[in-house]
Amino acid sequence: MGRSSDAPASARETEENGATLGNVEPAFSAGDSFHRVFESAPFGMALRGTAGDYREVNDVYARIFGRPAAEISGCPGGAFLHPDDAVSDKVIFQKLVTGQVDGFRIQRRVLRPGGEVRWVSVTLTALAGIPVLEMVEDVTEVRRSREEIREREAALTHATRLATLGEMAAGIAHEVNQPLAAIVNYANGSLRRLASAEADLESVKQALGYISREAMRASEIVRRLKRLSRREDGDRERVDLNAALRATADLLEAEFGDLRIEVSFDLAAEIPDVLIDLVQIEQVVLNLLRNAIEALRGWDGTRRITLSTAIDGERVRISVADTGPGLEPLLVDKVFDAFFTTKRTGLGMGLSISRTIVENHRGRLWVQPNSPTGAVFCMALPIFGEIL
């Protein structure tokens, strides 16, 4: 970006050995009180010309940029920014000085002399008499700790997902075994027919069709498991929630059968696709279903789990209802705490992780009583990914 043609005459700059040496006098006449604020502000402040050029910066601003104030003053806007952010700086300035907007808030990267990158939060305001006032705050550490929290959360989510899959291993093996056993049966039957004197080709053809269908079923289960065991989170994708719910419940088919739990679906017909990380939301549904199964284990009353979907304004609501003993009113908030468990072998992380996942999708997860007995865990997810 070149030096702006409309920079004030007082903003002189000297080019020496290719380096820009600022040697600039204050570019405008502001009152003393303004200058006192400018100099003593606890955050970085800069006055910038209509082309984005730096007219004056305070000490905090200079410190954030890792350069003397005199070096920055007089330089074109974006001179010390990451190239991508320098482009957006130019665009923003155009909007500010042409009066399309009065102010802007944005985060961007500052390049310090040694190549170090600092993230800053920038507020740009168009002011009468001063083309643009810029206020900056160094948010590198805040961003770093947020990033670390996110990474730790992801590692924990993954670890608990693997633990859940480990606990489900026996049931899953059963699920995969069923189609394999069917394949063996069909194949043996076909071999017998082919070996007999008058081979019935039509029924062999039919058996091959069944074999192919069962093999697809087994490979679909394996594919889902592989995806659930992946470390990295998937990208947000458009998902048919009704289909995802059915497929997730399929993984627990064997446990439902063993415990004689009746599973029913009450799915909204016209549900729009939602933008979600499918692996993570499946993990939530698995956690809720496993809790419901555990609540019904040893329960003498009706053993039913109902999965439903419904549209609720800008959100879709998914609920997992069971007919078990339900929750003591006092526990309704506690169950979402990390490490809260009433089970002998429970970790107490299922609901806590589930709530984190749902909230990262800008959704909500809560529990309410079922009637006459049991618990209903509900999750509401924004249809369009984010409701701001």
Tokens 């890792």 belong to 66
Closest approach of Mg ion to the CB of residue 287, in Å: 5
Closest approach of ligand ATP to the CB of residue 70, in Å: 59
Q: b/e per residue, 8-41, with b = 16+ CB within 10 A? A: beebebeeeeeeeebebeebeebeeeeeeebeee
Nearer to Mg ion, 55 or 355 (CB): 355
Residue from the set 51, 375, 378, 380 that interacts with ligand ATP by CB under 6 A: 375
Residues in Cβ contact with 280 at an 8 Å cutoff, skipping those fewer than 6 apart: 157, 233, 234, 357, 360, 361
Nearer to ligand ATP, 314 or 359 (CB): 359
Closest approach of ligand ATP to the CB of residue 325, in Å: 6
Task: Give the end-to-end CA distance of the chain in Å, rounded to a whole number.
Answer: 35
Q: Is 350 in the site for Mg ion (CB under 5 A)?
A: yes
Q: Is 291 in the site for Mg ion (CB under 5 A)?
A: yes
Nearer to ligand ATP, 49 or 326 (CB): 326
The option from ligand ATP, Mg ion, none interacting with 322 (CB < 5 to 8 A, set by class) reads ligand ATP
Query: Six-digit token pair at 299?
Result: 């329960």
Residues in Cβ contact with 50 at an 8 Å cutoff, skipping those fewer than 6 apart: 4, 6, 93, 97, 131, 132
Amino acid found at 242: N
- Rounded to whole angstroms, the Cα distance separating 332 from 375 reads 10
* CB-CB contact of 67 with 113 (8 Å): yes
Closest approach of ligand ATP to the CB of residue 221, in Å: 22
Closest approach of ligand ATP to the CB of residue 164, in Å: 7
Tell me the window of 36-44, 196-204, 238-246, 344-352 that interacts with Mg ion (CB under 5 A): 344-352
- Rounded to whole angstroms, the Cα distance separating 53 from 79 reads 9
Q: Is 252 in the site for ligand ATP (CB under 6 A)?
A: no
Does residue 364 sit in helix, strand or coil? strand
Q: What is the number of the residue whose Cβ is closest to ligand ATP?
A: 350
Tokens 């799915």 belong to 267
- Span 315-374, contacts to ligand ATP by CB under 6 A: 322, 324, 326-327, 335, 340-343, 346-352
Closest approach of ligand ATP to the CB of residue 154, in Å: 17
Name residue 310's beta-bridge partners. 317
Query: Six-digit token pair at 196?
Result: 């007999």
Nearest to 248 by CA among 288, 282, 284: 282
Nearer to ligand ATP, 78 or 326 (CB): 326
Does residue 4 sit in helix, strand or coil? coil
Site string for ligand ATP, 288-307 (x = CB under 6 A): ---xx--x------------
Nearer to ligand ATP, 58 or 287 (CB): 287
Query: Six-digit token pair at 359?
Result: 């909230």
Nearer to Mg ion, 97 or 338 (CB): 338
The option from ligand ATP, Mg ion, none interacting with 340 (CB < 5 to 8 A, set by class) reads ligand ATP
Closest approach of ligand ATP to the CB of residue 243, in Å: 24
* CB-based burial label for 357 (10 Å; 0-12, 13-18, 19+): buried
Size of the site for Mg ion (CB under 5 A): 2
Nearer to ligand ATP, 60 or 320 (CB): 320
| C-alpha gyration radius of the chain | 31
Contacts with Mg ion by CB under 5 A lie at 291, 350
Q: Which residues contact ligand ATP by CB under 6 A?
A: 287, 291-292, 295, 322, 324, 326-327, 335, 340-343, 346-352, 375
